[in-house]
Structure 1
Amino acid sequence: MTETVPLSTAPLRARAAVDLAALRDNVRALRAAAPHAELMAVVKSDAYGHGAVPCARAAVEAGATWLGTATPEEALALRAAGLDGRIMCWLWTPGGPWREAIEAGLDVSVSGMWALDEVTAAARLAGPSAPARIQLKADTGLGRNGCQPGEDWDRLVTAALEAQSAGLVRVTGLWSHFACADEPGHPSIAAQLTRFREMTAYAEARGVRPEVRHIANSPATLTVPDSHFDLVRSGIAVYGISPSPEIGAPADFGLRPVMTLSASVALVKQVPGGHGVSYGHHYTTAGTTTLGLIPVGYADGIPRHASGTGPVLVGGKWRTVAGRIAMDQFVVDLGGDEPETGTEALLFGPGDRGEPTAEDWAQAAGTIAYEIVTRIGTRVPRVYLNEQVAD
C-alpha cells in the first residue's frame, strides 16, 4: 500500500495529491451512465496507484456496491482494513489463499477446473464459512483468462453445479471481459456480447442462478449500454481518466482526474551554450540558459521513455524534459527564467492550472494513461484531499 501523509507534513520533494471528492463525483457519473446496473469500483494495483483503502471507502460512500481487485491478497487487505460489503478478486494461481478468501466472504473467480478443485477443497476445510462464493468466468474472445466455450464451459458449469449441490460453493456470478471496448464500433464488441449471452444462457439453462452477470469495463460502461447487464466494473474511469481518449477527454464523460503529481524544483542554475544535460548528453543547450532540477525519476515511476518529451509546468509555463530521465531526477530547460528553488513543478493533474495531464505523459511516453498513474512509486507519498464527505 502507498504511504499516506497529512497535508501539513507532506515532504517538499514530491507528492501525489488524491482528490477523493473528485473520485466520488466520478463514481456518481458512472452510476448515472449505467442506471439499471450495480457498480463495482475496481481498486486493484493499490487503486491504480491512488491508494486502495481511501479510494475504496470513497467509492462506497458514493454508491459503489461492489469492490474489485485482481489478487486475493489485495481483497484480503481491504477486509482487514474494515471494508464490508461485496468484494471480488479474479487473478488466482495454484495454491492461493482460497480458505482465507472463503472465510473473509470474498467472491472469487473460477476460470478452469483446477481452480474449482482448489476452492472446493478449501470449502471442505472452511466448515461453517462455506459455501464459497464463486463466479465463473467465460472467455468470450479476449483470449486471456476465462473458460473456453463448448466442452470446457460445459464441464466447468456441470462441476460447479455439483459442488453447489454438495453445499461447498454458491455460483454468484457469470462474467467476462472485453478486448476492444475502448474502440467503439470494433466488431469484436458485438461478437463478444453474443458469445456472452450464449454462454450465460447455457449456464442458466443448466440451473445456474447468478446474482450478477457482468462484462462491462470502464469504456463499455460509458459507450456500450447493451453490455451493462446486472453489474458494471469500472476501473480507470473511477480515477477520472478517459478509457477512450481517442473519442473523448475525461470531461466529455463527466469525469475529473483524481491525482495531481507535483515536485519541488531542487536547483536552478545558469549554464552556457553547448552544455550537455544528463546521461548520454542527448540534450545540449542551444545557448546560455537556465536549467531546473526536478527531484523525481524513474524510481518514482516517471517513465524513462518520456526522456526529451515529458511535459512539466514550472513558473506558469510548460517545460519539456531536457535529456534523459534518471533514477531520481530529471532536468528541464527554463529558457533563462529563474524561478526560486522550491517552486512547484506540476507534472500532471486535471489541467485546471494549465498543467499537463496523465494523458499528456502517456502520449510523451508512447503508452496509456493507466500506466502513468499506476506506476507512481511508493516513495511518493499520497496526500488525501476531501476525505470527509461534504454535507
Structure 2
Amino acid sequence: MAKTFYLQALDENLVYPFEAYFLTLCILSAETVVIFVVRFFDRGKSLVSLGKGSSGILSVKNLTLGLGVVAYIGLAAVKPTSAQTAGTGFFVLFSALAKIFVLGLVMQTRDGAKHFGTNGFITVGLVAAIGFEFIVSLVLNYREGLLSALIGVVLAAYYCRAIRPRHVIVSVLFVSLFGLLISPITLYLRVKKENVPIAEFAELALATTARAIVDPEFLQSLSSYNDSRLKRDNITGYDYYRLQSRSNVLNRLSYVALVDWAYAGMAGRSPLGIRVFEESLQRVTPSFIWQDKKAMNYGIGDFIAWNTGQLPMGNAAFLNYSLAMEGFASYGFAGLVAYPFLFMFPLLFALSRISSFRNISVVSVFFFAIYQHSFVESTTEVILAELTRTIPFFFLILLVLQNFRSTSSIAVSRHG
C-alpha cells in the first residue's frame, strides 16, 4: 500500500526484492501458525472479567482513568532527563500503570455506544480523555501511547457497531494530521529533551505544537531539521523509500522494506549468535542480579546495525528491527522462524489466559491496543520485559479492578 501511494514499483528501492518478499511471507506464516496454536489452547475461559460494573463516580471506568492520570503525573516526575540515566523502579511501575488509561478509554467508548445506541459513541468524557492523552504524548514525547489509545477507541466502537461514516472521515483527517503534524514535532522534540527538566520540556513541547499548528513554514522547518539529522547521522534505516524524509510515517509501516534493509545488512555475513540475546537480557535483568548494569542509550536494532556496518559504531538511532529479523541476524533463517515461537507465543498465551481472545471484551480489546505495536516492531528486549514485569503487573491490577467491580455491584444492590 505504501509503495502504491508513492507510485513506486513493488521492487523499487529494494536491495534484495525477492528475498525480502520471501522472508516476509515466511515471517507472516510463522506468526500465523503461532496465533492458531494460541487459539487452539484458548478454551474461551478468562481469569479476569470486567463487566458493566457500578455507575457513578466510583465506577471501574473512572478508576482506571484516574489511575492512568496519576501514573502519567508520576511518570513525568520520575522520568530520566538523560538517556544516559537508567530508569528507577518507580519509572518502570508508572510506565506500566499509565497504560491502564487505555482500558478506561475502551470502557468510556463502550458506555458511549450503549448510551447512543447505533448513533455513535463520542461523549464529552471521551473527548476530554483523548485530549489529555494528546497533551501527554507531547509532554512525555510518547507517540505510541496516543496511537494505542486511539486504536483501543476505534476497536471498541467497531465491536459495538457504533462507527458511522462521519467517524471514518474524522479518522482519515487524524491520520493525515498525525503524519503531517504530530510525527515531525515529536521527532524534533526528541533531540531537545536531553538534560532538560520535565516542566521546561513541557513548556517547549506545547509552545512548539501551538506554533506549528498556525505556522506552516515553521512546521516545514521542523521536518527539514529532522531530515538534516538523518543525513548527518547517516541513519539510512529509516529512509526505506529514498524520500530523504525521516518524518515520514509510512517508513515505519513498510515491513517489507524493513526486512529488505535487515537482510541487506546480513548478506554475506555470519549470524551474530547469542550476543544479541545477551544484550537484551542485560537490559531487562534487575540491577541487583546484573551488578554492572548501566543505562543504554541505544536500541537492539542499533547494536545489530553496528555489527553489520549499517550504522557507524556508537551512533544511536533506535532503529526498528522486529523480533523475527533479530532472530535472522542472530541465527539466520532458523532464527527468523523460531523467534516468533520462542517469544511471541508465550506472550500471546499469557494474554489469552488473562482474557480469552475467543470472547470480545474490554480487556481483550485493551490488550490488543497496547500490544499491537510490540507485535510489529519489538525485539526480545521488549518481549522479555513484558513477560517478566508488565503482564504480571497487569494481571494483579485487573484482579483488583475485578474485585472492586464485584464489591461495588454488591453495595449498589444493597442500597438500591
Give me the TM-score of the superposition, normalised by structure 1: 0.27
Q: Which structure carries more relative contact order (alpha carbon 8 Å, separation 6+)?
A: 2
Question: Could you say which structure has the higher helix fraction?
Answer: 2
More strand by share: 1
TM-score of the superposition, structure 2-length normalised?
Answer: 0.26
- The higher radius of gyration belongs to 1
